[in-house]
Structure 1
Amino acid sequence: MEKEELVELQVSGMHCNNCALSVHKLLEKKGLHDIYVDFANDEVKFKTDDPTSTPLIIKEIEGLGYKVSEDSIPIEEKSYEKIENKFYFSLLFTIPLFSHMFLPFHWLHNPLVQLALCTPVYILGCLHFGKSAYHSLKNGIPNMDVLIFIGSSAAFMYSLYGTIQNLGPDFLFYETAATIISLVLLGNLLEKRSVSQTTSAVRDLMLFQEVKANKMLNGEIVEIHSSEIRPGDVLVINSGDKIPVDGEIIWGEASINEAMLTGESLPVEKSKYDQAIGGTMIEKGSIQILVTKTGKHTILSQIIELMKKAQAAKPTIQKLGDKVAAIFVPVVVGISVITFFLAFYAFDVSFQKSMLNAIAVLVISCPCAMGLATPTAVMVGLGRAAKNGILIKGGNTIEEIAKLKFMVFDKTGTLTTGNFKIRALDCIQISEKKAESIISGIEGYSNHPIARSLVTELSLKSPEKMIFIKVTEEKGLGMTATDSEGNTYMFGSMQILNSDEDPGNYSLFLKMNDILVARIAIEDEIKPEAVNLIKTLKKLNIIPVLLSGDQKKKCEELGAVLGIEEIYAETMPHQKLAIIDEIKKRGKTAMVGDGINDAPALTSSDVGISMSDSSHIAIQSAEVILLKSDLSSIDNMLKIGKHTLLTIKQNLFWAFFYNIVAIPFAALGFLNPMVGALTMAFSDVIVIGNSIRLKTKSL
């Protein structure tokens, strides 16, 4: 199978969630994957197995009535294409037309004056809603614009017939046609502005990239834009400046505020050889950095991409709304037709009143609110999580978080600090100095917290390291290496011991040519926030589980201190996988881990949670990355997940409730089309407003 290619397009002309749904459904019908449609920012992304089909897909999107560009630069809308200007234009004619109902000016009651005022608004409606309705029907994806177009056209054509036949004021509904179009345009305008607030977290992050930079060039400092920076450039960054891209500090010291990345308000002290992350800010000091990553390769860009993908991933709860919205338009048209015939023929209601009731049913129906209910809440929830240093990779993960029954923890580097000290070194057949040299050399190739701690401690004690020609790491076992003389070494847990070899009270073992030559006892400290987290989980009826490759005795001691009853010790990666699968049968399960040996379990669990200082493989395997190694982030994650799901349920309730109540009221004649159009516009705003409330809501 060919590798999937990501296609990014700029699509202008999408004014509401209804437009975005039309594009999304079209791309789904084409069998594309990882579809992301953001009408507020005119962005469309998808993955395809066949990149040569992209021009055809672009043509089909244009067939829906939108403009498409493959350039990353947004398409500049002409002034008459902007939704604001369309609304103001229609309002200019609608106000005098509508005012004839309560102003005593006889000329406003003249059918020809009303026709003259309504015609420009109706033509605008045909171009805006009619064009979209036609293309949606042609592509078999009927949208909300079909209802608006039928409703406004019915009112206009009926009034035009009354004017031509001179049938009197009872046949004139020009103000209804114009008001429907104006109010729905107002709804589109409010929706676009409101949704742009729900995506502000991504936009805020993108703004961090738009900065100037001071580049060292031939001994002089030259100011350039961040887009002109290339890997290998040397940048000078002073107090108060933003760091434009990722790099390594080659000169100077600074206090760097990384709050935008981790949510941590206290600045981090950094000096030579430390990593500087693009988007963070220097509060005090001055540094020079050697640029290592630019553009899409920087940590900030990857976070932005992950957030966009997360917003595109649909929670299971949204599928209900999608199914209803898919059949909604034809059902509403059917109800409208039945309303007209029952009122006119069965209940002897006047033709005009029957027509108005049918139009009201069309106009008041609002699948937009259903379509907006989930994505707006997910966007705000993901944004709030990101500002708290919690990166959630999928909108569907939010729902999983809210339903967790078990949380499984790795021990080392997760519940404990991962800062190990050597308590005892027992050398059996080699000198202490040689043992330290071998261990320091072999562990330098591992990213495991124990390995990092041992290398740091041994480097201070003895800077000598043995050189190896080949080193490999085996999950759950340890390191294997070969030196230039052909000697083989193994360093790892008690799993590498033979049955006749005594582990004693030691944790790690060194073998040379399959003979045990040294043993190490290490000690680790519990993270200060671990005890409170376990208490919080129990209050939330989430069962904590300890799953570790460490010795049973050590795991039981840790479990006793923290209050964890369910413990699995001395497990290999494949065993961790089997245990996670068993726990999942009892309820939704999260796994919190940080090492290469946790990767399979992180992938298998319903929600994989990884620390930011974890191994690269662990980060790739997880659905949630905690940008702070502080375990209290998990408490925040659970609260955000719970309140986001609650907001989605509230939104869906109001969206369904609105339609269930409004359609019968309209069919029975209690709501005229103009009131219907107004309430339809504001039902969207209520749903979006409830989602935006999640930004500042107390958790």
Structure 2
Amino acid sequence: MGEPEKWEDEKNVYRVQGFSCANCAGKFEKNVKQIPGVQDAKVNFGASKISVYGETSIEDLEKAGAFENLKVVHEKKRNSNTGFQHIEQKESFIKKHGRILTSVLLICMGYLSLLVNGEENVSTITLFAAAIVIGGYSLFKVGFQNLIRLEFDMKTLMTVAVIGAALIGEWAEGAVVVILFAISEALERFSMDRARQSIRSLMDISPKEALVRRDDKEKKIHVDDIRIGDIMIIKPGQKIAMDGIVVNGYSAVNQATITGESVPVEKAVDDEVFAGTLNEEGLLIVSVTKKTEDTTLSKIIYLVEEAQAERAPSQAFIDQFAKYYTPLIMMIAALVAIIPPLFFGASWDTWVYQGLAVLVVGCPCALVISTPVSIVTAIGNAARNGVLVKGGVYLEKLGALKVIAFDKTGTLTKGIPVVTDVKIINNQAHPEQVFATIAALENRSQHPLASAIIKKAEQDNIEYANVVVENFSSITGKGIRGDINGITYYIGSPRLFRDLGIEHVSEAEVTLLQEEGKTAVVMGTEKEIMAVVAVADEVRETSKEVIQKLHQLGIRKTIMLTGDNHQTAQAIAGEVAVTDVESELLPEDKLNVIKKLSAEYDSVSMIGDGVNDAPALAASTVGIAMGGAGTDTALETADVALMSDDLTKLPFAFKLSRKTLTIIKQNITFSIAIKVIALLLVIPGWLTLWIAIIADMGATLLVTANGLRLLKVKD
């Protein structure tokens, strides 16, 4: 149909209720594409929605889905009183499944009549025929259309089988085939709804109204009417309606819905808060920073739904396989029905019956549903646990990885430098006075390590703010200098003091600190070294445990990438127990390392913060971004985003991926095996319609139940 990008301005997204199977979704998409004014259409079966490019109406869309009685509503109205709720409204069990229940009752009455009046009795045949018509109404409506158009899918197979059963007088078995197929479809629909529910539950967690202060008045406003810059008031126990920045107040906020973190996070002035999270303790005054459609929660929901639409490699294979499989089954069924009577003098009734049974057992329901139910369930479960996987293809690739590269700063480490050691070299000097001098000078510096020294001084209650510094200047690439009480002090790298010609008595101290993975900052005058301060980017407490778990899960190689010097890099690598380390790297060097690893190992993952690691993330097989919550770059560039700044989510993501791959393989193997076994029963003539429909229905139920087990995989 061309490229949808050309009609992006005419794109409208609609929610759909009533999809019973992936084939029905495909048929709906095809029908919508034929509506006058529609340029293109794309159904997302996993999220139960359709993107339409061009002009159309709800009425036209529902006409296109009339074969399945589909209900449609515009995406923008899903939260309004007249919108999505009419799709989600609860129907009574009897109303929803009235046809099936009526058909079951007629079948029971038919069997009672069969016992009393016999198989050839008019009332018996009438009861079974009525059960077939009522229970199979939706089946035949599509099946007959397919036959006329020579389109072959599972409903075509079932329609031919039921008509054939009636023609050879097998009314009872035809009725049972119809009712069991209807039940199978209802259960399939239920299982997909269960899988989708993990995302729908995210839609419901954000409040539809917020208490907003405008013109010195507080009033409840619908989220769609809230503007950027509005001031929200969130009381203890209330959910936050919009993303924003705290301008007043202090509280603990439960962010589990966004990041998967079980422990509430402290929020104070200038901290970011997210829509859908729960304010637990104090009163928070928040300035709104994003519109409803741009909140982190909205982006998560959108990205997960798009991910559910992305076809995994196994699903693409199944779709292609099913395209040729259905006509092949019809050909086999025809040969089974014709060859034995035509060439071997066998009974026509017996082998036509066998051929019809082949049609039923060949119905690819289980095979078609085996992959999407697993992918949708797994991606939904991952999102609820703070792991955003952007497609089935990445979910599958994640489980196949053998090599993982980690950015050091902010990934394996906290990304915040802290003072770890203060060594006073001049024993005559008072330690507090020396550190106050260091802090006073660093307070005027823009160096990244200065903040760590200032923080240390404040923690130790060292008075530095009142120390008068004169003639302060920066020595490019080496350090800083300044005069205090007439004495010129220098702070910088060991090289600075070597250039000053000062005997470097602290060389051994510096070397020892560097071997421990720390950066040495030397302080002194033109005559002597007075102190050495060690600053380090602290390793996350969980890093070593995560690396060990990954190795236990079968990851052969873990490699740390960093711009640090070799000694520091080796020290941190040893602390976190990665197998390899690459140091003194520029961003382009990291990219080259990833390319080299990809050539050697084929599948490589890169984990970083999604900003300066973007090239390496993009070049890896699966790019994983840390701290996706509130980071647009991470959400956009990575294939997988760990929503909390928490590496412990990584083993869960791998475990879920491996489990998904296992379940998909189990489902495909079982679906095909059950068909083959049932078809082999044709040889001795043992295959019956009963066995065929039970084999098909049983397989469908088992693969859907097996797929839903992914909801139980825990972090």
Give the TM-score taking structure 2 as reference length. 0.77
1:624 aligns with 2:658: no
**Structure 2 CA distance for partners of 1:458 and 1:206, relative to 1, 3 Å:** farther
- What is the aligned partner in structure 2 of residue 606 from structure 1? 621
Local SS of the residue matching 2:249? strand
Of 12, 21, 27, the match for 1:16: 21
CA distance in 1, matches of 2:356, 2:618: 52
CA distance in 1, matches of 2:180, 2:284: 55
CA distance in 2, matches of 1:583, 1:202: 36
**Structure 2 CA distance for partners of 1:528 and 1:33, relative to 1, 3 Å:** farther
Paired residues of 1:125 and 1:149 also in contact (CA < 8 A): no
Local SS of the residue matching 1:631? coil
CA distance in 1, matches of 2:696, 2:571: 61
Of 263, 266, 269, the match for 1:269: 266
Q: How does 1:115-514 map to 2 (within 5 A)?
A: 115-124=125-134, 127-136=137-146, 142-156=152-166, 158=167, 172-209=169-206, 211-216=208-213, 221-223=218-220, 225-227=222-224, 229-421=226-418, 437=444, 439=446
Local SS of the residue matching 1:545? strand
CA distance in 2, matches of 1:642, 1:193: 25
Which of 1 and 2 has greater Rg? Answer: 2
CA distance in 2, matches of 1:77, 1:338: 46
Q: Offset at 1:652? A: 0.9
Q: Offset at 1:8? A: 1.5
Q: Offset at 1:234? A: 3.4
Of 522, 528, 531, the match for 2:544: 531
**Structure 2 CA distance for partners of 1:238 and 1:362, relative to 1, 3 Å:** same
Local SS of the residue matching 1:609? strand
CA distance in 1, matches of 2:212, 2:327: 61
CA distance in 2, matches of 1:226, 1:610: 29
CA distance in 1, matches of 2:151, 2:669: 25
Q: Which one is further off, 196-205 or 329-338? A: 196-205
Paired residues of 1:11 and 1:68 also in contact (CA < 8 A): yes
Paired residues of 2:19 and 2:70 also in contact (CA < 8 A): no
- What is the aligned partner in structure 1 of residue 565 from structure 2? 551
The C-alpha deviation readout for 1:582-630, integer Å capped at 9, x for no partner, is 1012221110111522100001101111111696434421111112222
Q: Offset at 1:125? A: 6.0
CA distance in 1, matches of 2:641, 2:213: 35
- What is the aligned partner in structure 1 of residue 101 from structure 2? 88
1:638 aligns with 2:654: yes
Q: Which one is further off, 4-13 or 274-283? A: 4-13
The C-alpha deviation readout for 1:121-152, integer Å capped at 9, x for no partner, is 44446641233235556777532100011111
CA distance in 2, matches of 1:139, 1:258: 53
Q: Offset at 1:208? A: 0.4
CA distance in 2, matches of 1:55, 1:193: 25
Q: Which one is further off, 119-128 or 646-655? A: 119-128
**Which residue identity is paired with 1:413?**
G
Give the TM-score taking structure 1 as reference length. 0.78
**Structure 2 CA distance for partners of 1:209 and 1:366, relative to 1, 3 Å:** farther
Paired residues of 1:374 and 1:648 also in contact (CA < 8 A): yes
Q: Offset at 1:61? A: 4.8
CA distance in 1, matches of 2:152, 2:95: 23
- What is the aligned partner in structure 2 of residue 694 from structure 1? 710
Q: Which one is further off, 675-684 or 595-604? A: 675-684
1:44 aligns with 2:39: no
Q: Offset at 1:283? A: 2.2
CA distance in 2, matches of 1:642, 1:410: 24
Q: Offset at 1:223? A: 4.3
Paired residues of 1:400 and 1:607 also in contact (CA < 8 A): yes
1:571 aligns with 2:571: no
**Which residue identity is paired with 1:10?**
R
**Which residue identity is paired with 1:312?**
A
Paired residues of 1:198 and 1:380 also in contact (CA < 8 A): yes
Local SS of the residue matching 2:270? coil
**Structure 2 CA distance for partners of 1:28 and 1:85, relative to 1, 3 Å:** same
CA distance in 1, matches of 2:687, 2:152: 25
CA distance in 2, matches of 1:563, 1:14: 49
Q: Which one is further off, 208-217 or 452-461? A: 452-461
Of 553, 570, 576, the match for 1:562: 576
Aligned residues with identical type, % of pairs = 26
**Which residue identity is paired with 1:15?**
S
**Structure 2 CA distance for partners of 1:281 and 1:66, relative to 1, 3 Å:** same
CA distance in 2, matches of 1:136, 1:211: 44
How many corresponding residue pairs? Answer: 625
